[in-house]
Amino acid sequence: MAEEHVEDNHGEEGPVPVLRWDLGLFEQVVRNFRFPPEWDARYPAQNQTAADAPPGYITLFEDFFLQGNFRLPTTNFMGNILHFYNFHISQMSPPGMVRVRHYESLCRAHGIEPTVEKFQAFYQLIRTMGFFSFASRGATRKILLNPPKSFHDWKPKFFFIHKEMLPIAMPFQAWTEPVLKEDLPIPKHERWYHQLTPTSNRVFGENVLIAACMSD
């Protein structure tokens, strides 16, 4: 596997440091996930950060795909999550992506339509290290067993792609804006709540994601 590179520029301000990853790894992502030329996936130039997406482009991270079963074009549910919580996908961490897609796959497996309202029964929005993620609500059932403990050097592994791949309004939420705590009732008497049985996170093959309507 090609060597990864990380650059630190201490003169740069903001939540995302200057980081690079190897061109060969980026080309593997484009090839393995079959990005067509019209998506115009771009490897970042030297000294570009994940916050430097060109006009008309968005930033995505490799681990969204490798660990979180994320695919393009994205599902309506992913769009609903971003719209409801009102942040940009480039502000989501891979652990957050894992939880969103694990919940969606669990719903699909049980024939349940994934909705933000049902998602809120299990998860609370959090912000850590300048990125958004989701944590289990205190008294709710845990539906994700053995989540990945860490994502090694995920921040350097970003690229830019045409924003039409996510044709929804995604504002950049200010880092100073407080994350509201949701005081919602737990739907303990709802059948769907108990149908979503706890499972470990798995990285699925493409055939499984296609069958679950989570990939084209």
pLDDT digits (tens, 9 = 90+) for 88-139: 999 999 999 999 999 999 999 999 999 999 999 999 999 988 899 999 998 8
CA distances from 44 to 16, 104, 106 (A): 14, 30, 34
Which pLDDT does position 198 carry in this prediction? 96
Instruction: Judge whether 58 and 166 are in contact, CB under 8 Å.
Output: yes
φ and ψ of 162, to 5 deg: -60, 135
Residue of higher predicted confidence among 162 and 7: 162
Taking only the tens place, the pLDDT of each residue in 71-85 is 999 999 999 999 999
CA quadruple 193, 71, 88, 86: dihedral, nearest 10: -30
User: What's the first-to-final CA gap in the chain, in angstroms?
Assistant: 28
Which pLDDT does position 175 carry in this prediction? 76
Residue 18 predicted with pLDDT over 70: no
Which pLDDT does position 149 carry in this prediction? 76
CA distances from 26 to 32, 103, 107, 127, 189 (A): 10, 27, 31, 27, 46
pTM for this predicted structure:
0.86
Residue of higher predicted confidence among 12 and 177: 177
Which pLDDT does position 114 carry in this prediction? 98
Taking only the tens place, the pLDDT of each residue in 145-191 is 988 877 878 999 999 999 998 888 899 988 777 777 777 899 999 99
H or E element, residue 61: strand 57-61
Instruction: Judge whether 210 and 155 are in contact, CB under 8 Å.
Output: no
Show the CA angle centred on residue 37, arms to residues 205 and 30, nearest 5°. Answer: 35
